[in-house]
């Protein structure tokens, strides 16, 4: 323990939920205040900006459906990342797993002749498997060769981006695309149903909510979930108990990558209906979901709250762009500020300052020449 000006820096054995929630809310509040400063720099009153965002997203069905629509990929990916982070596997590659899932599903929808009733289910299955396979690569590299998964998952994002760019500008480029980089549209049976007048593909939303609930039950109430928690809290204890850490880590990464792949299929079949430029297919959902998972503090059910919050931020980006004539990238500024604040408050969650005990003065007795 380190001592500063009469206080000791002491590690918390178990950070309280109330304290963690308070720090998270403070981080969000400070991020919103700093975003208000950005609004001021654009010459827009922060109060007017927040009023416009509120009325454009939460008081209007069209705006609220956009919030839910943005929530879907964040929820699917966020829950998968919570599982990965709980086992100390830092999956930064969800963006690539999303793109690969969408690409594999697009390949099935465009080039594989299937009966109409089977087209969409098989595309969902293939998208899940493709995302899982993309996540399997860094998991295997870490477990067999001890290669850092942060680097491999991040690099695979760029491989996936270039793969999609190559396909939509090359062999898969649509006959009616002319100078644009996208494929031909998918047939109608490959379209995810949406609520009338919106792009809210409710089928994927139901899958995402069920996935969050089931993951919460697995982590909290099953033997496999117990193994995941032990592996995340102390890998050495997991090995001492004879647990198969290889199997557990691979299972978690397959589920995490598969969930990101499903998110890609939802964006493909529910909104765009064709494979197109990666920056249009995903607005950086794979990266934002890292903050979503972090803010949920390892609780899959917590993602049911944090994902809609960031869905609101993304929908607010559309409102700011259309109504306030501000760039959509303001969303990235807010996400970056919030991530910085969450990292900055992390030591306050793990440590606390306690008053150092007073030292008892040591009394010495001076001996007299006669020994008294």
**How many helices (H) does the chain have, and how many strands (E)?**
14, 3
pLDDT in single tens digits along all 372 residues of the chain? 566 667 777 777 777 888 888 988 999 999 999 999 999 998 999 999 999 989 888 888 989 999 999 999 999 999 999 999 988 889 999 999 999 999 999 999 999 999 999 999 999 999 999 999 999 999 999 988 989 999 999 999 999 999 999 999 999 998 887 778 899 999 999 999 999 989 899 999 999 999 999 999 999 889 888 888 888 888 888 888 888 888 888 999 999 999 999 999 999 999 999 999 999 999 899 999 999 998 898 899 999 999 999 999 999 988 888 888 888 888 888 888 888 888 888 888 888 777 777 666 555 555 555 544
In the prediction, which pLDDT does 234 show? 84
User: Which pLDDT score, from 0 to 100, does residue 372 have?
Assistant: 45
C-alpha to C-alpha distances, 144 to 170, 171, 239, 254, nearest whole angstrom:
36, 35, 16, 16
CA 146, distance to chain mean position in Å, is: 24
Strands lying side by side in the sheet with 2-4: 2-4, 7-11, 351-355
Distance of CA 341 to the CA centre of its chain: 17
In this prediction, residue 371 carries a pLDDT of 46
Torsion on CA atoms 127, 129, 133, 139, rounded to nearest 10: 110
HSE-CB for 212 with a 13 A CA cutoff? 28
Which two tokens mark 203? 């089928």
Q: For 169, how many CA atoms within 13 A lie in the half-sphere containing its CB?
A: 8
Q: Locate 335 and state its tokens.
A: 């996400």
122/132 Cα distance (integer angstroms)? 15
pTM: 0.88
CB 293 within 8 A of CB 305: no
Contact between residue 228 and residue 219 where contact means Cβ atoms under 8 Å apart: yes
Q: How far apart are CA 201 and CA 36, in angstroms?
A: 33
- The alpha carbon torsion through 308, 314, 316, 317 (nearest 10 deg) reads 170
Nearest to 273 by CA among 186, 173, 174, 178: 186
Please state, in angstroms and rounded to a whole number, the distance separating the CA atoms of residues 109 and 149: 32
């Amino acid at each position: 323990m380190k001592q500063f000006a009469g206080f000791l820096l002491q590690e918390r054995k178990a950070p309280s939920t109330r304290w963690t929630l308070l720090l998270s809310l403070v981080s969000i509040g400070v991020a919103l205040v700093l975003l208000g400063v950005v609004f001021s720099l654009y010459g827009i009153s922060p109060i007017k900006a927040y009023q416009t965002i509120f009325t454009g997203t939460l008081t209007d069905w069209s705006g609220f459906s956009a919030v839910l629509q943005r929530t879907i990929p964040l929820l699917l990916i966020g829950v998968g990342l919570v599982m990965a982070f709980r086992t100390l596997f830092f999956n930064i590659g969800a963006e690539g797993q999303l793109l690969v899932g969408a690409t594999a599903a697009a390949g099935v929808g465009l080039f594989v002749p299937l009966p109409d009733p089977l087209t969409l289910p098989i595309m969902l299955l293939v998208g899940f498997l493709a995302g899982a396979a993309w996540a399997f690569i860094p998991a295997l590299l870490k477990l067999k060769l001890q290669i850092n998964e942060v680097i491999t998952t991040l690099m695979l994002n760029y491989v996936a981006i270039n793969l999609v760019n190559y396909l939509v500008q090359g062999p898969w480029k649509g006959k009616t695309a002319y100078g644009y980089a996208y494929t031909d549209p998918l047939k109608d049976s490959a379209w995810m149903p949406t609520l009338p007048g919106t792009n809210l593909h409710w089928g994927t939303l139901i899958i995402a909510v069920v996935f969050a609930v089931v993951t919460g039950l697995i982590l909290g109430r099953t033997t496999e979930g117990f193994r995941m928690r032990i592996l995340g809290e102390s890998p050495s204890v997991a090995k001492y108990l004879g647990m198969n850490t290889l199997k557990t880590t691979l299972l978690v990464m397959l589920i995490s990558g598969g969930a990101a792949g499903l998110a890609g299929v939802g964006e493909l079949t529910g909104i765009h209906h064709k494979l197109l430029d990666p920056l249009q297919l995903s607005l950086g959902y794979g990266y934002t979901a890292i903050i979503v998972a972090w803010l949920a503090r390892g609780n899959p059910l917590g993602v049911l709250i944090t994902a809609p919050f960031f869905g609101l931020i993304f929908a607010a980006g559309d409102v700011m762009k259309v109504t306030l004539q501000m760039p959509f990238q303001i969303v990235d500024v807010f996400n970056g500020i919030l991530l910085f604040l969450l990292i900055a408050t992390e030591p306050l969650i793990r440590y606390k300052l306690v008053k150092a005990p007073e030292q008892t003065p040591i009394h010495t007795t001076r001996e007299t020449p006669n020994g008294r």
